[in-house]
Amino acid sequence: MAAPVTTPVADATQAVQQLTIGKALNQGLRAAMEADPKVIVMGEDVGKLGGVFRITDGLQKDFGEHRVLDTPLAESGIVGTAVGLAVRGFRPVCEIQFEGFIFPAFDQISSQLAKLHYRSQGRVTVPVVIRVPYGGGIGAVEHHSESPESLFAHIPGLKVVSCSNPVDAYWMIQQAIRCDDPVLFFEPKRLYHSGALKAPVDTSATPDPLFSSRVLRRGDAATLVAYGPSVKVCLDAATAAEEEGRSLEVIDLRTLSPLDLAPVFESVRRTGRLIAVSEAQAESSLTSEVAARVQQECFYSLEAPVLRVTGFDTPYPPAKLEEHFLPDLDRVLDAVDRALDW
Which of 105, 95, 127 shows the shortest CA–CA distance to 26?
A: 95
Contact 180, 89 (CB under 8 A): no
Q: What is the DSSP secondary structure assignment for residue 312, as one 8-state letter?
A: -
Backbone φ and ψ for 8, nearest 5 degrees, come out as -70, 145
144 belongs to the catalytic site: yes
Q: What is the dihedral of CA 206, 92, 18, 219, to 10 degrees?
A: -60
Give the Å distances, CA to CA, from 126 to 38, 89, 105, 203, 241. 13, 8, 16, 27, 45
Q: Which residues contact 75 (CB under 8 A, 6 or more apart)?
A: 96, 101, 102, 103, 104, 105
Contact 227, 164 (CB under 8 A): yes
Query: What's the CA gap between 248 and 216, in Å, rounded?
Result: 11
Backbone φ and ψ for 35, nearest 5 degrees, come out as -80, -25
Secondary structure element (H or E) that encloses residue 288, with its range: helix 286-297
**DSSP letters spanning 57-117:** TTHHHHH-TTTEEEPPS-HHHHHHHHHHHHHTT-EEEEE-SSGGG-GGGHHIIIIIITTHH
* Sheet with 159-162: strands ordered across: 68-70, 39-43, 91-95, 129-134, 183-188, 159-162, 255-257
Which of 74, 332, 310, 57 shows the shortest CA–CA distance to 192?
A: 57
Contact 29, 93 (CB under 8 A): yes
Of 144, 154, 193, 324, the active-site residue reads 144
Q: What is the DSSP secondary structure assignment for residue 233, as one 8-state letter?
A: H
Catalytic residue list? 144
